[in-house]
Amino acid sequence: MNIPEWSSDVVRERADVSCLICGRGLGQIERAEGKIHLIEPPETVNAAHLVRKSGVGMACSHCGGRAYVGPLERIARYAA
């Protein structure tokens, strides 16, 4: 198997964000080219939104619980 060479141009990392209290999905965090941005979760009954709460940081809009960021997974962006 050929392992491609990673460069900062093609590597993205994504992590699932979920609520530690109610377990709702809060979207994903994506890191690419040194920048981090948030991917909103699909609108489902099991989804809530990330909110910023003083003293807590990122929290769940549904119950106010602390957001948990899962392990970053590398995903490749293939050139068209």
The residue ranges that bind Zn ion (CB under 5 A) are 19, 21-22, 60, 62-63, 65
Instruction: Give 12 or 66: the residue with its C-beta nearer to Zn ion.
Output: 66
Residue 3, classified by CB atoms within 10 Å of its CB into exposed (0-12), middle (13-18) or buried (19+), is exposed
Shortest distance, position 60 Cβ to Zn ion, whole Å: 3
**How far is it between the farthest Cα atoms of the chain?**
48
Shortest distance, position 73 Cβ to Zn ion, whole Å: 22
Q: How far, in Å, CA of 9 to CA of 67, rounded?
A: 29
Instruction: Give 32 or 51: the residue with its C-beta nearer to Zn ion.
Output: 51
